[in-house]
Every structure is written in C-alpha cells, then in structure tokens.
Amino acid sequence: MAWIVLIIAGLFEIVWAFAMKQSHGFTRLWPSLVTVGAMALSVGLLAWSMRSLPLGTAYTVWTGIGAVGAFVVGIAVLGESASALRLLAALLIVSGLLLMKVASPG
C-alpha cells in the first residue's frame, strides 16, 4: 500500500509543478491555489508512505516521478524540446527508479 500512496504522491508532484508554471510566478489565483493544494497532498502522502518505506527510497522515487512526469508534461502539453539527450536522461531516471523499487523492502 505504501508504494501505491508514494506513486500517487508523485503524481500530485507533477500536478503542482505544472500548476506552478501556469500560475506565472503566483500571479494567477486558480493555478496558484492548485499548486498549494497539490503540494500539500503530495508531501502529506509522501510522509505517510515514509512510515513504512526507507527515507532514501521514498524520497528518490517521489522526486523521480515528479521530475520525469514534469518532463513529459513539458513535452506533451507545453511543447518543450524532446531531444535525444533529454529523452536518454529521462530514461536513466526511470531506470534508477525501477532499480530503487527492486532493491527496497516493502
């Protein structure tokens, strides 16, 4: 269950990163509110998952989901660059996340 909660926390990290971009430096109300709410949910779920998962594993997976998810949203929604090197970097992050899952108890 902790892994499912951790994945959901990572998804909320993607939401707040995208909403923060849309807030234009917290100058737009609704994206700013979504950012703050998603941040609170993300961190709260991360904290819950850390009750049974190791700190290093939980935090690494959480940030990795957020980083790769924000990268994908940037390409798919915001039209950011999808160069071969950027895609390779994302693939390496995902590989590290999978290794972290395999190597961790819980």
What confidence tens digit (pLDDT) does each residue in 58-105 have? 999 999 999 999 999 999 999 999 999 999 999 999 999 889 888 877
pLDDT at 97: 87
How many domains would you assign to the chain?
1
Question: How many angstroms separate the CA atoms of 11 and 76, rounded?
Answer: 16
Dihedral sign from CA coordinates of 9, 10, 11, 15: positive
Domain of residue 51, residue span: 1-103
Contact 16, 68 (CB under 8 A): no
Question: How many angstroms separate the CA atoms of 6 and 21, rounded?
Answer: 23
The single-letter code of the amino acid at 26 is F
Split at pLDDT 50, 70, 90, the class of 50 is very high
How far is the first Cα of the chain from the last one, in angstroms, to the nearest whole number? Answer: 9
Q: What is the mean pLDDT of the chain?
A: 95
Split at pLDDT 50, 70, 90, the class of 38 is very high
pLDDT of 106 higher than 70: no
